[in-house]
């Protein structure tokens, strides 16, 4: 179960996100050592180190909120919902510890999938938040003659597509009706064929070579 702390612009926004976490069987709301609202409120209870921080910055710039939190305990990987995020700011936010950037109107399923992906070490970017350097690869064709150009099997393409959607091994296994051990086998094969060392790199290479369409 993934431990999630909440940081929101207001008590109302915090309550909405905490209710969402409580409704997800795979997620567990934890009380963190840093404030739960941007104004500085704390929730009573012994603090616990969360796996993921779910943040609603409200009208404040995300980078400003992150700078104020940098003076406190070390932040876990951050999932941001809402906020005015220009695509050009995405690289800076990633360097600051943000691992998922979602619009405010995103569905509950997408938020849950993004939290699971971030906890697994992936980066999740909604298409509306993608930098031009990534979104410009839409419709790209495979690069011939490069390293790792071995074709993926249809099953491996399915697995890579689900990885790009932010699914963890358990979710992929459930969707495909296979074991998590088999999922790990497919991921290892994907890494080998795409000459990748991580999930993020595999997805990036898959997009660049036309295996995946962004």
pLDDT of residue 129: 58
Q: Which residue has the tokens 């980066």?
A: 123
DSSP for 101-129, please give it.
EE-TT--HHHHHHHHHHHHTT--EE-GGG
pLDDT band at 141 (very low <50, low <70, confident <90, very high): very low
Cα–Cα distance for residue pair 212/135, rounded to 1 Å: 12
Task: Return the H-helix or E-strand segment holding 188.
Answer: helix 180-194
Task: Return the H-helix or E-strand segment holding 166.
Answer: none
Burial class of 149 by CB neighbour count within 10 A (0 to 12, 13 to 18, 19+): middle
> Which residues have a Cβ under 8 Å from the Cβ of 92 and sit 6 or more positions away?
63
Round the average pLDDT of the chain to a whole number and report it. Answer: 77
Is residue 160 within 8 A of residue 202, CB to CB? The reply is yes
pLDDT of residue 134: 44
Q: What is the pLDDT of residues 87-129, one digit of tens each?
A: 667 777 888 888 888 888 888 888 888 898 888 888 887 766 5
- Token pair recorded at residue 170: 């358990």
pLDDT of residue 39: 47
Cα–Cα distance for residue pair 121/16, rounded to 1 Å: 25
Q: What is the pLDDT of residues 33-81, one digit of tens each?
A: 545 444 444 444 445 688 999 998 888 778 777 776 655 557 789 999 9
Is residue 135 within 8 A of residue 117, CB to CB? The reply is no
Higher-confidence residue of 27 and 146: namely 27
pLDDT of residue 40: 47
- CA–chain centroid gap for 180, Å, is 20
pLDDT of residue 72: 55
- Token pair recorded at residue 94: 């990633």
pLDDT of residue 73: 58
What contacts 24+ positions apart, CB below 8 Å, involve 91-95? 91/131, 92/63, 93/62, 93/63, 93/66, 94/123
- pLDDT above 80: residue 170: yes
pLDDT of residue 4: 92
Domains of the chain in sequence order: 2-134 (3.40.50.2300), 138-208 (1.10.10.10)
pLDDT of residue 52: 92
pLDDT of residue 68: 67
pLDDT band at 142 (very low <50, low <70, confident <90, very high): very low
2-11, 78-87, 191-200: least confidently modelled range: 78-87
Cα–Cα distance for residue pair 14/4, rounded to 1 Å: 12
């Amino acid at each position: 179960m993934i431990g999630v702390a909440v940081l929101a612009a207001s008590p109302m926004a915090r309550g909405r996100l905490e209710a969402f976490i409580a409704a997800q069987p795979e997620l567990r709301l934890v009380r963190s050592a840093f404030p739960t609202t941007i104004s500085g409120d704390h929730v009573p209870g012994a603090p616990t180190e969360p796996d993921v921080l779910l943040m609603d910055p409200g009208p404040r710039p995300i980078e400003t909120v992150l700078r104020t939190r940098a003076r406190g305990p070390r932040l876990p990987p951050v999932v941001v919902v809402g906020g005015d995020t220009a695509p050009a700011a995405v690289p800076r936010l990633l360097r600051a510890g943000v691992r998922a950037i979602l619009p405010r109107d995103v569905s509950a399923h997408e938020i849950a999938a993004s939290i699971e992906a971030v906890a697994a070490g992936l980066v999740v970017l909604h298409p509306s938040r993608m930098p031009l350097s990534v979104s410009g690869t839409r419709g790209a064709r495979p690069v011939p003659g490069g390293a790792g150009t071995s074709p993926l099997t249809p099953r491996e393409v399915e697995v890579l597509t689900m990885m790009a959607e932010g699914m963890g091994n358990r979710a992929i296994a459930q969707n495909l009706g296979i074991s998590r051990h088999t999922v790990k086998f497919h991921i290892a094969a994907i890494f080998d064929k795409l000459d990748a060392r991580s999930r993020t790199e595999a997805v990036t290479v898959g997009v660049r070579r036309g295996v995946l369409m962004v």
